Structure formats: structure tokens, C-alpha cells
Amino acid sequence: MSLWHSYIIKAYFCTLILLMNTLLTTNTKTHDEKRQGEAFAPFSVDSNQYKKLFYIESYGCAMNFADSEVVASILQNNGFGATKNFEEADLIFVNTCSIREKAEATVRKRLTEFRRLKKSNPGMLVGVLGCMAERLKAKFIEEEKLVDMVVGPDAYRSLPGLIEEAETGQKAVNVLLSRDETYADIAPIRLNSNGVNAFVSIMRGCNNMCSFCVVPFTRGRERSRDANSIINECKTLFNDGYREVTLLGQNVDSYHWVRENTKENGEENAPVTFSLLLEKVALIDPLLRVRFSTSHPKDITDDVLFTIAKYDNICNYIHLPVQSGSSRVLQLMNRTYTREWYIAKVNRIREILPDAGISTDMITGFCTETEEDHQQSLSLMEYCKYDLAYMYFYSQRPGTLAARRFEDDIPEEIKKRRLQEMVDLHRRNTLQSMQRDVGKTCKVLVEGFSKKTQDDLQGRNDQNKVVVFPKGNFKKGDYVSIKITSCTSGTLIGMPCKDLFNL
Ligand code: SAM
Ligand code: SF4
Ligand code: F3S
């Protein structure tokens, strides 16, 4: 994870392929390469109004970006003002990601730039936040001498105290993970927002132990946020003009919240499950679109699928990471399902939601992966015909189950070759998926001007595909009925229809 104005427009609009450590295709996504290192400046700064100015830049997934909005809120409530210009900042924060080696290398490189700045401004304090802070803890301070504060994802409330401590010249560290922190009562400051789309955190942490993944170690145990605070945040967003919320969690389908020790209308409160939460958010207003990410295939239920089918404003789009098409590799990954089980889940989604867009995450070159396993991943992709896929080659993370149990035995060139084959296949599939939409009519939520020209607008349809069309009299936040006339591999191009959706 709000932040998202021009950057998210860029991300939504271009389906682009990057081959770096990470190779992926995208339009909207939870881990968006185009947004890495994005800085925030939510409010105009009168430097006299604040005791100090802070600069924050973020890496990693949408949840990390959403956390930066919580951090900004905590800092602002304690007399600090945000600046987009790091050279004028008294405090520099880098909200970091550990998911792959490349993500950490990017942050290390960025810190060397801040080191130069600190030489000319020794009073400036540098804080490392997020998953890399949690993974490396105090070791960060030993390795990176310029770092003054190391603060894990559950310790942001202690930031004002840690800043005070660091101001005395001491190094300040708080990396305690919590079993109940959800920042439910903190109203995030919507940074870099386009005023249409916002991300809303509904839970934190992860209890799954996928063997390749560092998240359970950096984010701690799974906990669900108070449902009422989620509904209230979504209502406020709607009243402020936002028209789309994306409910965020590493595994949203295991959302489960029970009000403690209270009775309402004389009855015990029933637990709020994810399908119930979706329904409550959808009922806020038919004009508020609802998306969610990420679904673990083992946890998504028919209840959730029927709730999506029941409400027009819940998008027909499911991000259902599979990671591999080989049951043998899935077992090593500890994903707790087989290839056949996953395929049955996709079939069920298509049965209940025939028009649903489905996307996935894939990893190539996981420990022991053979050519045959790789072919199984390709054939699964061919079967599922994903609308979007985020594809990565395996990057061993210290401390994970895979790092402790298995040898990282696939040479990097093979990992990358397999990744390229996967990307090529996916590119062909997405082009076909876009071509199938030509001639159809879809409802588009306008997010702003097209990337290429201010004569065109752009938005996304229910299935999360980017649609570009002539501006006419439409504006950001409108729903427009668009007849698709042509496409590229990343964008649908169309014309507004006369029969505007009657909402
Ligand atoms: N919770 C989500 C799920 O269950 O799929 C996604 C979590 S993770 C932030 C996003 C994606 O990063 C994963 O789905 C996986 O494909 C990829 N990933 C995680 N660890 C990785 C690693 N060690 N090497 C390469 N890719 C990795
Ligand atoms: Fe990582 Fe697996 Fe949790 Fe996703 S579900 S965050 S991949 S451990
Ligand atoms: Fe997200 Fe990266 Fe942490 S993907 S949860 S910021 S390791």
C-alpha cells in the first residue's frame, strides 16, 4: 500500500515487463517495481509550523506503503512535518523490504547516498523502518554506521520516543513484534493520493510458513484489525470522494475478528469473517468499489466467491498466487495444496464467477526444481490463462525454512532462463485475454488522465484491466461505460457508450 496519485496511475496504466532480479508483468499490484523508493509529501510544508521535517521513502509491497501512511500520521501528530525534498529534512526514514536479495541491495545502495548527505549535515538522523529493520535488527547499526534508528513494523508508535533518544546521540532500536498491534485507531495520512483509490490494511503478519518466504519473520503473527475501524476508514474515504478501496493483507481470506466481551442488541457478537467484512464494506455505498489482495488458495472459500457474485461493486478479480505448477515443488514450498487442488479452485472460481479476472505469483528455480517441474509450471499457466502474473526467480532468504533445509541448487542462469520462458508464455496469454475483450462493453472507474495525453482518460474495469478512452466530459471518480475497440498487451482502448451505467 492513500499514497497513490501519479505513481499509481503509471502503475495501473502500463503493463510493463521488467527483467531485473525480479521479472514481472503488472498493472496494479501489491509489489510494484515502479513505486520502489517513492517519497511522500502529503501536505504543503510551512517549516515554522513543525518542530522538524521528515522525509520518508518506501520499498516493497502495498502493505509497506500503507504503513508509511501510518508512520506519517504518527509523526505529524507529534509535531513533525513531511517534506519531499530529503536535502531539507531533519529526519530521513527508509521503509524497507526483505522479500528478495535485490530489494535489500536497493536499500543499501540508497543508504550510501544518504551517507554523503549526512557528512554535510551531521545533525540529520536516519531511520530504517520495515521488514529489513526487523530482519537485521541492531546488526543494521553495526553494518551501516550512518543509521541512527532501527524500527520494526510493529513499533511505529514508539517513533517519537526513539527520535528523542537518537537526538541525544544514542542509537535507538525497537524491533519488538506484537501479537495484537494493528494501528486500528490511527487514521493514515493519504500520501501521494489520486483521490480515487486507497489501500486499507485489514490485518497484519502471516501464520503461513511458505518455506521461501521471509514475511512471517519480519511481520510476525497474523492478527486481524477491528472490523468497525475498517468500515469507518472506508466510510471516511468514500465521504472524502474516494471510489475504490483495496483491502490488504498477506492472506485476507483468513481474516477473523471477534469483538471482545461485549454484547450488541442483547446477542453475542458473531465473528466477522472475510466474506462478512467484504459484504459490510460493499454495503457502504454501491458507488464504492471494493478490491482485495492477497488470497491464499487454501483459504479462499465459496462464501467469499458468492459474496463477490452478489455485489456489483465487489470487483470480479482474484489474486491467487500459485508459486509453482509442480505438486512436488509445492510441497517443498509448504504451500499446503497440490497442482490438482489449485486447478479445482480455479475451476470453482470460474464456475461461480465466470467473468472473474485471475492473477498469480510464480517463482522459478526454487530448490531442486527440474525441467519437468518447470514445464508443469508453464502448463499450469497455460491452463489458468492468468490475466496478470507477477513472476520472480527464487532468491534465498536467510533464516527461512528453505534456507535452513534445502540447498539453493539451481544456477542463476537457469532460474533466469526459466523465468524468461514463463514471461514469454504469459505475454502471449495476456495479449489473447485483451483481444477477447475487444467488442465488449465494460464499466470503468476513471482514475485520471492517460499517460500519453490529457485528451484521454484512463481507469480500470472490474477485472483490473487498464482502459483508455477519449476524455469527453468525464472526470476522475466517474464510472463510465466503455465499448472496447482495440487493445495492446497491457491496455484496452475504447469509446464511451451512450448508455451510461445507471448507478
Ligand atoms: N502473501 C502472498 C502469498 O501468499 O502469495 C504474497 C507474499 S510476497 C510479499 C509476494 C510474492 O513474492 C510471493 O507470492 C512470491 O511469489 C514472491 N516471493 C516471496 N519470497 C520470495 C523469494 N524468496 N524469492 C523469490 N520470490 C519470492
Ligand atoms: Fe509469505 Fe506464504 Fe505468508 Fe504469503 S502466505 S506472506 S508467501 S509465508
Ligand atoms: Fe512487504 Fe517486502 Fe515486507 S513484500 S511484507 S515489505 S518483506
Residue among 97, 204, 213, 250 to mutate when testing ligand 3 (max atoms within 8 A of CB): 97
Choose between 113 and 150: higher pLDDT. Answer: 150
pLDDT confidence band for 46 (50 / 70 / 90):
low
Phi/psi for 167 (5° steps) reads -65, -25
pLDDT tens column, 456-492: 999 999 999 999 999 999 999 999 999 999 999 999 9
Residues 435 and 249: their CA atoms lie apart, in Å, by 32
**Amino acid 38: pLDDT:** 75
**Amino acid 269: pLDDT:** 73
Q: Which secondary-structure segment (H or E) carries 102?
A: helix 101-120
Alpha carbon 390 to its chain's center: 12
The SS3 call for residue 428 is helix
pLDDT confidence band for 22 (50 / 70 / 90):
very low
Domains in the chain (CATH in brackets) are: 29-174 (3.40.50.12160), 193-315 (3.30.750.210), 316-433 (3.30.750.200), 441-496 (2.40.50.140)
Question: Ligand 2 site: residues with CB under 6 angstroms?
Answer: 206, 208, 210, 213, 215-216, 250-251, 296
Residues 265 and 273: their CA atoms lie apart, in Å, by 20
Number of H helices and number of E strands within the chain?
Answer: 15, 26
Ligand nearest to the CA of 98: 3
Q: Is 266 left (phi over 0), alpha (psi -120 to 50) or beta?
A: left
pLDDT confidence band for 500 (50 / 70 / 90):
low
pLDDT confidence band for 503 (50 / 70 / 90):
very low
Residue among 299, 361, 386, 397 to mutate when testing ligand 1 (max atoms within 8 A of CB): 361
Q: Among 5-14, 26-35, 78-87, 183-192, where is mean pLDDT lowest?
A: 5-14
- List CB contacts of 169: < 8 A, sequence separation 6 or more: none
pTM, two decimals, is: 0.91
**Amino acid 44: pLDDT:** 52
| Cα of 96 from ligand 3 centre, angstroms | 8
pLDDT at 21 over 60: no
Question: Ligand 1 site: residues with CB under 6 angstroms?
Answer: 31, 61, 99-100, 212-213, 215, 250-251, 294, 296, 321, 323, 361, 363, 392, 394-395, 397
Percent of the chain having pLDDT more than 70?
Answer: 89
Residues 90 and 42: their CA atoms lie apart, in Å, by 17
**Amino acid 290: pLDDT:** 98
pLDDT tens column, 241-284: 999 999 999 999 999 999 876 555 555 678 999 999 999 999 99
